[in-house]
Amino acid sequence: MAELFYDADADLSIIQGRKVAVIGYGSQGHAHALSLRDSGVDVRVGLHEGSKSKARAEEQGLRVVTPSEAAAEADVIMILVPDPIQAQVYEEHIAPNLNDGDALFFGHGFNIRFGFIKPPAGVDVCMVAPKGPGHLVRRQYEEGRGVPCIAAVEQDATGNAFALALSYARGIGGTRAGVIKTTFTEETETDLFGEQAVLCGGAAALVKAGFETLTEAGYQPEIAYFECLHELKLIVDLMYEGGLEKMRWSISETAEWGDYVTGPRIITDATKAEMKKVLAEIQDGSFARTWMDEYHGGLKKYNEYKQQDAEHLLETTGKELRKLMSWVNEEA
Ligand code: NDP
Ligand code: MG
Ligand code: MG
């Protein structure tokens, strides 16, 4: 069973006694910086020249300096810029300003796990990763609640790194909900696998294959869209609320029977064997290398894939159909 930590296990005064730099003010950055500030922590935000979010951070009462200044002032540095540019931001702005005893924090383990960032031995290396998007993290904090977080220590130079990570998690409301202890390796590998095989890659491919099967058989694309994409939300909401059991309680007996007999014909032993290959490529670092080469090579294939799917009948059909459903856009 996972180890869980709550408010009572986290000493807020540890992070209140430090100087924190939050580098980046996007989805996660704004939530961390504002909630830490509201928890009585000394926070500055580090943003690059020409940053689009600088004005918003200042309006919200935060002090914004350059990433180098932020790293120089602070002794806890949370890196919340996009993963593919973290190594560059680290080399240029953070590494030259690190002292022994400082702590380097991450919201995702990618750059540490695959060695793109190699911190010196004298600093603590920690992760606090909320299991939800930044706006939810902030809203829950403001409502006196929190989004569960996972926390990890890759390098414990001071001997107090995990207590510091828990204290930080408390500062953003994480210990109100519960913090699960993990490792950089487990977080990074499971995150990449989940998004590729199940959540994003798996789900998108499943929806597309179902939609194509129906339209190629002559059914109307609008009807296929509802059956293969639109209704997926209803099913996922039920799974989210009560697992497979609640989903199966809600659907018809006919749907449930089809679930049992057809599901394993779609996701077969061959699919699972391929999942194992995908996991192996994540674990051995080849996925990370290919992705960084693609990113720094100008995202050519990435943009091709994006374009192809934008032109797919599923997407063009959905664009029109969603105009009939005013509530769909209101929810976003
Ligand atoms: P976003 O893309 O939302 O935000 C990126 C921020 O970094 C923006 O404020 C951007 O500034 C700023 N930025 C861009 N380039 C630089 C630079 N060179 N120097 C300083 N700041 C820069 O990122 P996320 O919040 O999505 O992701 C941050 C981290 O959190 C990642 O490690 C991610 O994996 C992790 N994470 C994200 C989650 C999420 O829900 N999104 C969930 C859990 C973890 P501007 O736009 O103003 O130019
Ligand atoms: Mg991810
Ligand atoms: Mg139906």
Give 289-304 pLDDT, tens digit per residue: 999 999 999 999 999 9
Judge if 13 and 158 occupy the same domain.
Answer: yes
Ligand 2 centre and the CA of 17: distance in Å?
A: 31
- Which pTM value belongs to this model? 0.94
With bands split at pLDDT 50, 70 and 90, how would you rate the model's confidence at 55?
very high
- Name the percent of the chain lying above pLDDT 90: 98
**Amino acid in the structure at residue 168:** Y
For the chain, how many structural domains are there in total? 2
171: Cα within 13 Å, side-chain hemisphere: 30
Picking from 63, 125, 117, the residue whose alpha carbon sits closest to that of residue 93 is 117
Q: What are the beta bridge partners of residue 65?
A: 46
| Cβ atoms of residues 164 and 126 within 8 Å | yes
Ligand 3 centre and the CA of 227: distance in Å?
A: 6
- Say what the pLDDT of residue 169 is: 98
Give 91-138 pLDDT, tens digit per residue.
999 999 999 999 999 999 999 999 999 999 999 999 999 999 999 999
Picking from 268, 263, 269, 289, the residue whose alpha carbon sits closest to that of residue 192 is 289
For the record, the structure tokens of 72 come out as: 């120089």
Judge if 131 and 220 occupy the same domain.
Answer: no
Pick from 182, 205, 223: which residue ends a domain? 182
Query: Residue 190: helix, strand or coil by DSSP?
Result: helix
Ligand 1 near 283 CB (within 6 A): no
Query: Residue 179: helix, strand or coil by DSSP?
Result: strand
- Say what the pLDDT of residue 1 is: 84
The CA distance from 158 to 169, in Å, is 18
Judge if 168 and 197 occupy the same domain.
Answer: no
The CA distance from 128 to 174, in Å, is 9
**Which of 44, 80, 150, 296 most suits a substitution to test ligand 1, by most atoms within 8 Å of the C-beta?**
80
The CA distance from 165 to 184, in Å, is 13
- What is the separation, in whole angstroms, between the first and last Cα of the chain? 35
The alpha-carbon radius of gyration of the chain (Å, integer) is: 22
Where does the chain show beta strands of DSSP type E? 4-5, 19-23, 42-46, 64-65, 76-79, 103-106, 124-130, 149-155, 179-181
For residue 203, give the CATH number of its domain.
1.10.1040.10
For residue 34, give the CATH number of its domain.
3.40.50.720
What rounded mean pLDDT belongs to the chain? 97
Judge if 150 and 221 occupy the same domain.
Answer: no
Residue ID of nearest Cα to ligand 1 atom 10: 24
Cβ-Cβ contacts under 8 Å for 124 (sequence gap 6 or more) = 102, 103, 104, 153, 155, 156, 157, 158, 160, 161, 164
Judge if 167 and 196 occupy the same domain.
Answer: no
Pick from 133, 162, 182: which residue ends a domain? 182
Ligand 3 centre and the CA of 122: distance in Å?
A: 59
Q: Cβ–Cβ contacts within 10 Å for residue 179, how many?
A: 30
**Which of 35, 44, 47, 135 most suits a substitution to test ligand 1, by most atoms within 8 Å of the C-beta?**
47
The CA distance from 113 to 197, in Å, is 20
63: left (phi over 0), alpha (psi -120 to 50) or beta: beta
Question: Per-residue pLDDT averaged across 11-24, rounded?
Answer: 98
ipTM over 0.95: yes
With bands split at pLDDT 50, 70 and 90, how would you rate the model's confidence at 329?
confident
Judge if 281 and 219 occupy the same domain.
Answer: yes
- Say what the pLDDT of residue 326 is: 87
For the record, the structure tokens of 185 come out as: 């390796």
Instruction: Give the residue numbers marked as catalytic.
Output: 108
The ligand with the least distance to the CA atom of 251 is 3
Judge if 162 and 20 occupy the same domain.
Answer: yes
For the record, the structure tokens of 187 come out as: 């977080």
Unique residue bearing structure tokens 């509530």: 327
**Amino acid in the structure at residue 148:** P
Ligand 1 near 53 CB (within 6 A): yes
Judge if 209 and 168 occupy the same domain.
Answer: no
Pick from 182, 212, 233: which residue ends a domain? 182
Picking from 122, 81, 126, the residue whose alpha carbon sits closest to that of residue 98 is 122
Ligand 1 near 175 CB (within 6 A): no
For the record, the structure tokens of 261 come out as: 């007999």
The ligand with the least distance to the CA atom of 80 is 1
Ligand 1 near 235 CB (within 6 A): no
Judge if 204 and 145 occupy the same domain.
Answer: no
**Amino acid in the structure at residue 59:** E
Judge if 154 and 266 occupy the same domain.
Answer: no
Judge if 221 and 119 occupy the same domain.
Answer: no
Sort strands 179-181 and 149-155 into parallel, antiparallel or unpaired. Answer: parallel
With bands split at pLDDT 50, 70 and 90, how would you rate the model's confidence at 330?
low
Q: Is the pLDDT of residue 282 over 60?
A: yes
**Segments forming the whole domain that contains residue 303:** 191-331
Judge if 29 and 109 occupy the same domain.
Answer: yes
DSSP 118-145: ---TTSEEEEEEESS-HHHHHHHHHTT-
The separation between CA 184 and the C-alpha centre of its own chain, rounded to angstroms, equals 14
| Cβ atoms of residues 33 and 81 within 8 Å | no
Ligand 1 near 173 CB (within 6 A): no
- Say what the pLDDT of residue 332 is: 52
The ligand with the least distance to the CA atom of 92 is 1
